[in-house]
Amino acid sequence: MAKHVREMTPEEVIIAEDALMDFQFAVIDAMREKKISKAELADKLGISRARVSQMLSSEANPTLKVVGRALAALDLEAKYVRKAKMQALNTPAKGYDWDAVSRHWEIDFAEIRPKQQAWHNDNTKRYDFTPSNTIRKAA
């Protein structure tokens, strides 16, 4: 009997990508805080440094076992929250001027220079990139 695997819905893709990025940023933050290199994390996890780099890349698809080992090695834990609870936490308070808050934090894109530093999954290096022509200038 053939196994039918359906395509992920757009919502499932977003949820999966958010979960992966949350995991990756938690690992990167913990590594920086504990001053642990990728090689040291690889030793703790019993995997290669290349596998650690892959786990932190945009093409990552780590197994739950590797995720669990990384969380344990870095004294982290994963928490799952019902969607309704998250929506309640993200609902703005009534009567608060959220537009004023967001305007305060807007970036003046006109100040972006043609060459900027870009973060790469190698946490110790920076790479130059040229922004695309689609970057808008703030009004």
Structural domains of the chain in order of their starting residue, each with its CATH number = 10-73 (1.10.260.40)
Taking only the tens of pLDDT, the chain with its 139 residues reads: 668 889 999 999 998 999 999 999 999 999 999 999 999 999 999 999 999 999 999 889 999 999 999 999 999 998 887 877 666 666 666 665 555 555 444 544 444 444 444 444 444 445 454 555 454 445 4
Under DSSP, is residue 80 helix (H, G, I), strand (E, B) or coil?
A: coil
Spatial contact of 51 and 42, defined as CB atoms under 8 Å apart: yes
Spatial contact of 56 and 121, defined as CB atoms under 8 Å apart: yes
C-alpha 25: how far from chain center: 5
* Distance, CA of 16 to CA of 20 (rounded, Å): 6
**What letter does residue 128 receive in the DSSP assignment?**
E
The answer, as to whether pTM is greater than 0.75, is no
